[in-house]
Amino acid sequence: MTSAERPRLYSTEAIVLRQTPMGEADRLLTLYTPHYGKVRAMAKGARRVKSRLGGHLEPLTRVRVLLAQGTTFAVVSQAETLGNTLALRGDLWRMTCGFYMAELVDRFAQEEQENGALYRLLEESVAALAEAPDPDTLLRFFETRLLALMGFLPELHQCASCGMALAPVTNSFSPAVGGALCPACRAQQALARPMTLQALKVLRLFSGCALEAALALRVPEPLAVELEHLLRQYIRYVLERDVRSTEFLDMLRREMREDAFLAQQRA
């Protein structure tokens, strides 16, 4: 839907992707909505302690907002919480996974470009964060589905270079060529990396399955690492830049590994 069709004052459900302080007391929000895509909105006075709006507008919160269309930004005139992240309080790792998903949507989505399926993906994935048996698997599912919904799913069924059907062997993967490569084409692609058959199968599954099916999957550690690197490299290639929150994800993971190691030493 374009801004021309949009009423001056409108109500929409939204997920808060990001907020930045503006001036003394305001916040500039980046919202993701089911019908209007990404919307930038000003929440006036939201940083004041007694603000009616402030508490509803934390990142990852699902809200119903009443927005007044302004010249540069919309202005939030009312906000009501539909789903919050209280269940994640105290779990920095899962919270950071959520911020990463929000950042990906922010980077891929356009303003005023409706993508209801992407909204539902974000909504169900944020809702699943607290209970997901393995948040890493949730992230890999989220990345794969997001790429598919934005038209960037890598080629996973035939060689992205010669078009031959992929054999059930270790193939390769090249972001620059656009997906999987057969062993014969690998030689011409210096930057291609090996891709195990298991990784190929998981990506094929995630590109089409429901969230519940993805979360039920047990992904052993080496395969989890392979999938993370592969998707990160591909997303970086598509976006032509790094995703900022991956740095924090990596730092937290290193700390968790060290903690686990120390706990093992003490036991």
Binding site for Zn ion (CB under 5 A): 159, 161-162, 182, 185
**Please, what is the minimum distance in Å from the beta carbon of residue 160 to Zn ion?**
8
Sequence-distant (≥ 6) Cβ neighbours of residue 187 within 8 angstroms: none
- By beta-carbon proximity to Zn ion, the closer residue of 142 and 234 is 234
- By beta-carbon proximity to Zn ion, the closer residue of 9 and 162 is 162
**Please, what is the minimum distance in Å from the beta carbon of residue 154 to Zn ion?**
14
**Please, what is the minimum distance in Å from the beta carbon of residue 12 to Zn ion?**
46
Q: How many Cβ atoms from other residues are within 10 Å of residue 125's Cβ?
A: 23
Separation between Cα atoms, residue 245 and residue 105, nearest integer Å: 12
| Contact predicate 6/83, CB 8 Å | no
- By beta-carbon proximity to Zn ion, the closer residue of 115 and 174 is 174
**Please, what is the minimum distance in Å from the beta carbon of residue 199 to Zn ion?**
17
**Please, what is the minimum distance in Å from the beta carbon of residue 116 to Zn ion?**
36
Q: Output the CA torsion 147→152→155→160 (10° steps).
A: -150
Token reading at 13: 């459900």
- By beta-carbon proximity to Zn ion, the closer residue of 230 and 235 is 230
- By beta-carbon proximity to Zn ion, the closer residue of 3 and 188 is 188
Sequence-distant (≥ 6) Cβ neighbours of residue 5 within 8 angstroms: none
Which runs of consecutive H residues, i.e. helices, occur in the chain?
A: 92-108, 116-128, 135-149, 183-186, 197-208, 211-215, 221-239, 245-266
- By beta-carbon proximity to Zn ion, the closer residue of 138 and 182 is 182
**Please, what is the minimum distance in Å from the beta carbon of residue 156 to Zn ion?**
14
**Please, what is the minimum distance in Å from the beta carbon of residue 212 to Zn ion?**
35
- By beta-carbon proximity to Zn ion, the closer residue of 102 and 203 is 203
Instruction: Count the alpha carbons within 13 Å of 73 in the hemisphere toward its beta carbon.
Output: 15
The size of the chain, in residues, is 267
Please state whether beta strands 62-69 and 9-22 pair in parallel, antiparallel, or not at all (unpaired): antiparallel
